[in-house]
Structure 1
Amino acid sequence: MTDRHHLTRRGLLTAGAGTAAGAALLLTGCDAPRAIRATNIGKKLAEWPDYVPAKAPKPDFPGNDAKGIQSAYLTYPTDLVTAVPEKPGNGETVTVALVTNEPVPPPLGRNTMWRAVNEALGVNLKLNFIPSASLSQKLAVMMASGDVPDIITCSDGVPTFEDFIATDLQDLTDHLSGSAIRDYPNLANLPTYSWQGVGLINGGIYGVPIQRPLPTPEMICNLDAFDKVGGLSDWTPDQFTQRMKALTGKKHWASGPVGKTDVDRHAGWRGAPNSWVLDSSGGFHPTEATAVYKDALAYIQKLVKDGVFYPDQVATPEAKTLMYGQTLYSMADTLPAYATNVAAVGSRFRFDFGRPYTIPGVTPKKWDGPGWVNYTVLKKGTPSRIKLMLRILNFLASPFGSKEYELIRFGVEGKHFTRDSHGQIQLSKLSQVENFNTLPLQYVCSPPLVAYFPGQPDAARRVWNYQTETSKYLVKNPSVGLRTAAKDRYGTVTGQILNDAATNIVNGRASVKSWDDALKEWRKQGGDKIAASLREEYAAVHGH
């Protein structure tokens, strides 16, 4: 079992990091110890950064940072605040490696938005855009070459990279721990759960989280379609099956392709702990070894037999296209992707989320994610140089409702957008080429996400209602933020064992009974070693 973050881009990178892993192993030697410097065992632990909410326009529906619930805005604020009174820089050149999911944007000389951001920051950002699918490989090459930019977006998909962080990159503890972070008010606005999700490295704070809401990948649904068969809540497992079957047929399917994510979600709805069972003595046991998880496997196997899942394995972008065209009526997707989905379909139909079903005597669980999608680390430098980098991150983390956020998100007024008579954003043609996705500074640093969807206030209400209704079911993954050598060494192999076995079972190629054999192989190939190392690291970090 790996420290799973479910269907996030980072999770997909981890699953596909074979090339990067090989590169990292060549760097260290096959028998070299792993994650020994990143571990927190026996280290003095840094205090988490203070949490100080930023000043921002009042939301229509307030969030709850402790529970990971987003604030919701029905309209765009007209009373924008200034989040960073002074330019962070004074003409310095700053190199940045950042991840992107889009084609590379026009170069600086032909990019109005990029130039405007440089002007606002007071620096010359030299951006190296890394396709998300290549991030793990690029990080491995970076370790080998020692050629490190000033600011690096990273993930946890590369073996030994955390060791590299601990030995070769900047310890930010003195700058960010406790009250020190108050020098950077927008970084202090990042919720504590995101810092804890990234975790300590070698006892210190090295990574600045790129925050995401706590709920894990969801069952995102075509509400209009589900309303015709009974809706997305107040259902039992049998009623769930009935509604899914009612939406399937005539080249339409109730769900996208089946995956282990579906088994995980239904196991949670049936009361299974999030990824690991943490016993009273501090021991870790895989939730896949519970009877509830095996029940979920059998249930999904039956749904596959009923034909409710799209029969071909397609990538997420293709599944989205099928859902936008209403060939599919639901799919697994991240909560932040709701915004992209809402914008893509406009008024053609409404999106919402499937609620947990009810089983007598069972309290359903929704599995928390780590609270971040990537995190940012810095090249070692003088104190003044590090403070410049943190001022840049502080600017990029300016909250929704600030002038700085508007620049990073929407660009320059009069070029990338105008305002209507009510002060609402109207995007221009230029914004189709220059926007926050093609200039993805959101993956360098960003504020807590809010629920705001231009021209679609009901979409904000729905996602806020969903988070509020279901937050009581959220449960944490006890392994999040922990550093262990065994997870680094065995995690990819053991994770693949369970993924492959689950895929074979739900597709009818193996019996549910064969799951016991998969668990034995998981243990044999290092699963028990991961569990033992997590126990030791958990005790060091949490004190028991």
Structure 2
Amino acid sequence: MAPTLSRRRVLALGAAAGLGPLLGACGDGGSSSSNGSTGPVKLPTYKPVTAATPDLAAEPAGVSPGYFTYPTASSAASQPVQGEAVTALTYTYDPIAPALGSNPYWQNLNDKLGTELKITYVASADYKSRVATTIAGGDLPDMVAIQGVVQQMPAMLKTTFTDLTEYLSGDAVLAYPNLAGLPTDAWRSVVYDQRIWGIPVPRARIGTVLYTRADLLAKAGLSLQPTSWDEFKQMAAALTDERAGRWAFGQIPFNTILEMNGITGNWPGGAGAWQAKDGVFTHTGTTPQFTQALQDTVELVKSGVIHPDQAGAPNTKRNQWMLAGTTSFTIGLYAGWGKFYGQAKDVPGFRLTGMLSPTRDGTGTRVRTPGPTLSSFTAIAKTDDANRIKQILQVLNWLCSPFGSSEYLALRYGVEGQTFNRNGSDPTLTEGGRSQTLLPVRYLAEASPVIYEPGNRQAVQDQYDHQVAGVPLAVPDPTLGLYSETVASKAASEQQELDSVLLEIQLGNKPVSAWQPAIKQFMDRVGNKIKAEYEEQAGR
């Protein structure tokens, strides 16, 4: 167990780190990344680790490897960990798994790991307040998952968690081979004030996807990849038949239209909404291209190709529309690709692809918004016990065991014949296994993503092709590795107000001209301060 914090220390921490509203602004984790400066820090040496040769190679850089079947010969990837139990606090997006006493998957995990892993977790929506309460209570578990950015982030980390720089910087990370296999960009987001504060939970670099019902487009005789804004509109019109209850889109494809106009970043929310050249930062909302994208969006909405109930509809409803063929497109994170196939098992001919944004006029260079480098990172509660730190890092190293290893099989599927069976070489969870494996160890640490859809070779190929085409187009987020206190403490309410104006314009309730005073107000209140903070760090 990590050392207990005294009440006086907690109060001091609250004053230094702004723990009243502890987790102020947040996002997916990758968009609001790190530090004061990563300059002098030597990031962990990258040394890829694999336990099985992929069917589709991880090329070009940033593309995930693809596997058509699960490797038949799993190999051990790391040694079991010894020592006392390790405690952890993390989050989940799924229902609660059975407790340890009635969970053979968890029991097997501890047996394989060689020590007891005690996990406490709550729903992601409640996680921010749980972390704040835990820190204020003064008794931290050994490991804590950190989502997003908090006020006075560097001070909070320095006061509460262990500086891992000497254990992970440069070649030091090679003592933990699976951690060395994590991508370099993910590590950038755990560096604050030139120190390494945790283990990143990496994500595929492809980011948000305009999911496409390829079978419906093929039936309509349409290309899966339009080459211009005009062709995009024509395609949308061809897929829309209001009398038949069919529309092209389940929501406004604003980010797609932004990319057509050469702008990257996720809107609404403004995550990643900065461009930089020669150290000078520009908010994309202030550019003429953004205004053009707004005009294009209003035109698309007025054309009637978007589901009339899209405003306020949850993602689950939009996904249902697409699965039913009510719409042909929906927008979602890449991590959800495989879930569609599980939900569409009874849909005849179902095929899913991802559409890339063309350029507006069909010429020039296409761009793409990169995905977040990580979903969260795991920090170790403050301790000076080097042996304990190394043991916890060994646990995290084990949890990052690569696809195809025996450890990965235990992490994802559990015990053969009990929590999973084989269909050929592919593991298939049993009914009990589906609930037991909901234990969220993957939100503490996991290996770099791979593409694997059991029994669905086409799905693997389609995801891989989408990554190969899209990853090289990604424009790096210039704020990666930078920290803005204004973003953490003041920007959320201003961004919400800006987003409300954006939506009203998109729906036709306000003219496009309303954007200029709105973005000026945002810049005057917080944007120019954020710009200055980023430029100061970038210039170091």
Calculate the TM-score normalised by the size of structure 2: 0.88
In structure 1, the residue matched to 2:235 is: 243
- Give the C-alpha shift of residue 160 in structure 1: 3.2
In structure 1, the residue matched to 2:76 is: 82
Q: Summarize the Cα distance change of 1:175–1:165 in structure 2 as closer, same or farther, 3 Å threshold.
A: same
Give, in whole Å, the separation in 2 of the partners of 1:179 and 1:207. 16
Give, in whole Å, the separation in 2 of the partners of 1:40 and 1:530. 13
- Give the C-alpha shift of residue 347 in structure 1: 6.3
In structure 1, the residue matched to 2:426 is: 424
Secondary structure class of the residue paired with 1:411? coil
In structure 2, the residue matched to 1:277 is: 275
Q: Summarize the Cα distance change of 1:400–1:175 in structure 2 as closer, same or farther, 3 Å threshold.
A: same
* 2:236 aligned with 1:210: no
RMSD (Å) for aligned C-alpha atoms: 2.1
Q: Summarize the Cα distance change of 1:58–1:347 in structure 2 as closer, same or farther, 3 Å threshold.
A: farther
2:20 counterpart (21, 26, 40) = 26
Cα displacement string for residues 2-53 of structure 1 (whole angstroms, at most 9, x for unaligned residues): xxxxxxxxxxxxxxxxxx9xx956379x9xxxxxxx8525x87321000011
In structure 1, the residue matched to 2:356 is: 355
Secondary structure class of the residue paired with 2:85? strand
How many residues end up aligned between the 2 structures?
A: 499
- Map 1:103-502; keep pairs closer than 5 Å: 103-196=95-188, 198-229=189-220, 230-248=222-240, 249=242, 250-258=244-252, 262-274=253-265, 275-280=273-278, 282-310=279-307, 311-312=309-310, 313-346=312-345, 348=347, 349-358=350-359, 359-381=361-383, 382-420=385-423, 422-435=424-437, 438-502=438-502
Query: Given that residues 190 and 200 in structure 2 are in contact (C-alpha distance below 8 angstroms), is that contact kept between their aligned partners in structure 1?
Result: no
Cα displacement string for residues 68-124 of structure 1 (whole angstroms, at most 9, x for unaligned residues): 21100111111211101x21123x222111110111111111001011111111222
Give, in whole Å, the separation in 2 of the partners of 1:251 and 1:486. 46
- Give the C-alpha shift of residue 366 in structure 1: 0.1
Query: Given that residues 228 and 362 in structure 2 are in contact (C-alpha distance below 8 angstroms), is that contact kept between their aligned partners in structure 1?
Result: no
Q: Which amino acid aligns with 1:468?
A: V
Cα displacement string for residues 108-167 of structure 1 (whole angstroms, at most 9, x for unaligned residues): 110010111111112222211121111222222233333321111111143334431122
Query: Given that residues 298 and 512 in structure 1 are in contact (C-alpha distance below 8 angstroms), is that contact kept between their aligned partners in structure 2?
Result: yes
Secondary structure class of the residue paired with 1:296? helix
Cα displacement string for residues 371-400 of structure 1 (whole angstroms, at most 9, x for unaligned residues): 111111111221111111111111110000
Give, in whole Å, the separation in 1 of the partners of 2:86 and 2:441. 13
Give, in whole Å, the separation in 1 of the partners of 2:479 and 2:234. 36
Q: Which amino acid aligns with 1:244?
A: A
Comparing 388-397 with 354-363, greater Cα deviation is found at 354-363
Structure 1: which 4+ aligned runs deviate by more than 4 Å?
none
Q: Summarize the Cα distance change of 1:532–1:241 in structure 2 as closer, same or farther, 3 Å threshold.
A: same
1:40 counterpart (25, 36, 46) = 36
Q: Which amino acid aligns with 1:316?
A: N
Give, in whole Å, the separation in 2 of the partners of 1:428 and 1:255. 36
Query: Given that residues 75 and 455 in structure 1 are in contact (C-alpha distance below 8 angstroms), is that contact kept between their aligned partners in structure 2?
Result: yes
Query: Given that residues 140 and 161 in structure 1 are in contact (C-alpha distance below 8 angstroms), is that contact kept between their aligned partners in structure 2?
Result: no
What residue ranges of structure 2 are gaps of 5+ in the alignment? 1-13, 25-33, 266-272
Q: Summarize the Cα distance change of 1:234–1:244 in structure 2 as closer, same or farther, 3 Å threshold.
A: closer
Secondary structure class of the residue paired with 2:498? helix
1:50 counterpart (45, 51, 57) = 45
Cα displacement string for residues 255-313 of structure 1 (whole angstroms, at most 9, x for unaligned residues): 2233xxx3233212321255212132x12110111111111111112222222223232
Q: Which amino acid aligns with 2:53?
A: K
Secondary structure class of the residue paired with 2:275? strand
Q: Which amino acid aligns with 1:455?
A: G
Query: Given that residues 143 and 161 in structure 1 are in contact (C-alpha distance below 8 angstroms), is that contact kept between their aligned partners in structure 2?
Result: no
Q: Which amino acid aligns with 1:116?
A: N
Q: Summarize the Cα distance change of 1:277–1:39 in structure 2 as closer, same or farther, 3 Å threshold.
A: closer
Q: Which amino acid aligns with 1:411?
A: G
What residue ranges of structure 1 are gaps of 5+ in the alignment? 1-19, 31-37
Give, in whole Å, the separation in 2 of the partners of 1:376 and 1:399. 18
Q: Summarize the Cα distance change of 1:74–1:407 in structure 2 as closer, same or farther, 3 Å threshold.
A: same
- Give the C-alpha shift of residue 511 in structure 1: 1.0
Q: Which amino acid aligns with 2:447?
A: P
